[in-house]
Structure 1
Amino acid sequence: MKSITPAEFARLDHAALIDVREPYEVAQVSVAGAVMLPMSSLQEHLAELPEGPLYVLCHSGARSARVTLFLEQQGYDAANIEGGIVEWEASGLAVQRG
């Protein structure tokens, strides 16, 4: 499974960020421009995934790792964001609250 750090993701240009957290989690803290597709309903919404490489984010990196593996098995070019939004914020990257 491919993975990158939040800082590595931040250096990419026009990369598709998929947030697989649940709506109540996203309501607390989110990343601007991320596509919200909760892991619990992802299979029902595969057609909504953007084209090209996908970078998958969750709270701490565990759920996004499972989703990344699933997407790879389905033929998608996907990578896990290590440490999730916790590491994202700890790295000093921008988030939106509330």
Structure 2
Amino acid sequence: MKEVSVNEVPADAQLIDVRESDEYAEVRADGAISIPMSEFTSRVGELDLDRDIYLICKSGGRSAQVGEYLEQRGIDSINVAGGTQGWVQAGLPHTSA
């Protein structure tokens, strides 16, 4: 699975936040779509397979696990190293509660 830094995520990326809903509500990268890891298997059909899939979580661990799940199903994805914490620390556009 490919991995990129928060600064390498395109502005118009399909960015999937796999953290739980309460975490997403607290702080999130602008444009991120919430598909919690706990719901991912039932919501995988919501992904646009014609676009690159960037996965983000708090720091990169859960998104890497979701990426492995996708990889086992023949779906490529890109893990965002550093996650939402790194995103906020880098001063990238985000929304906080």
Q: Classify the TM-score, shorter chain.
A: over 0.9
| Superposed CA RMSD | 1.1
C-alpha distance 25-13 of structure 1, shift in aligned 2 (>3 A): closer
Pair 1:21 & 2:19 matched: yes
Corresponding residue for 1:55? 54
Distance in 1 of aligned mates of 2:13 and 2:25: 22
Question: Is residue 6 from structure 1 mapped to residue 39 from structure 2 by the alignment?
Answer: no
Aligned-pair CA distance for 1:75: 1.4
User: How many positions carry a matched residue from both structures?
Assistant: 96
Shift in CA distance, 13/97, structure 1 to aligned 2, threshold 3 Å: closer
Partners in 2 of 1:91 and 1:2 — Cα distance?
20
Change beyond 3 A, Cα 1:40–1:95: same
The percent of aligned pairs where both chains have the same amino acid is 41
Q: What's the offset of the Cα at 1:35?
A: 1.3
| TM-score, reference length from structure 1 | 0.91
Which runs of no fewer than 5 residues in structure 2 stay unpaired? none
1:80 has 2:71 as partner: no
Q: Per-residue CA shift, 1:15-74, capped at 9, x if unaligned?
A: 210000000001110122211100011000111112321000000110001111111111
Partner Cα distance (2:21, 2:29) in 1:
13
Structure 2 CA distance, aligned partners of 1:97 and 1:14? 20
CA contact (8 A) 2:29 2:87 kept: no
- The 8 Å contact of residues 4 and 80 in structure 2, kept in 1 or not, is answered as yes
Q: Provide structure 1 residue ranges, at least 5 long, that are not aligned to the other structure.
A: none
